[in-house]
Structure 1
Amino acid sequence: MSLKQNVEGQIKSAMIAKDKVRLTALRAIKSMILLEETKEGFSGTLSADDEMKLLTKAAKQRKDSADIYEKQGRADLLEVELAELAVIQEFLPKALTDEELTFAIQEIINVTGAAGPKDMGKVMGVASKQLAGKAEGKAISEKVKSLLNS
Structure 2
Amino acid sequence: MSLEQTVNDDIKKAMLARDEAGLRSLRAIKAAILLAKTAEGAKDALSAEDEIKLVQKLVKQRKDSLEIFEKQNRADLAKKEKEEIEVMEKYLPAQLSAEDLKPIIRKIIEQTGASGPSDMGKVMGVATKELAGKAEGKAISAVVKELLAQ
What TM-score do you get using the length of structure 1 for normalisation? 0.92
Cα displacement string for residues 75-120 of structure 1 (whole angstroms, at most 9, x for unaligned residues): 1111111011000000111121121011221122233333333432
Q: Distance in 2 between matches of 1:52 and 1:69?
A: 26
Q: Distance in 2 between matches of 1:138 and 1:95?
A: 12
What is the aligned length? 150
Q: Distance in 1 between matches of 2:70 and 2:116?
A: 38
Runs (4 or more) in structure 1 with deviation over 6 Å come to: none
Shift of 1:50: 1.1
Residue of structure 2 equivalent to 1:39? 39
Shift of 1:15: 0.8
Residue of structure 1 equivalent to 2:110? 110
Given that 2:98 and 2:139 are in contact with CA atoms closer than 8 Å, whether structure 1 keeps it comes out as no
SS at match of 2:35: helix
Residue of structure 2 equivalent to 1:94? 94
Q: Distance in 2 between matches of 1:3 and 1:30?
A: 9
Shift of 1:135: 2.1
Shift of 1:60: 0.7
Residue of structure 2 equivalent to 1:149? 149
SS at match of 1:99: helix
What TM-score do you get using the length of structure 2 for normalisation? 0.92
Give the unaligned 5+ runs of structure 1: none
After TM superposition, list the pairs within 5 Å mapping 1:51-62 onto structure 2: 51-62=51-62
Give the unaligned 5+ runs of structure 2: none
Given that 1:52 and 1:132 are in contact with CA atoms closer than 8 Å, whether structure 2 keeps it comes out as no
Structural RMSD (CA): 1.5
Instruction: Report the AA paired with residue 128 of structure 2.
Output: S
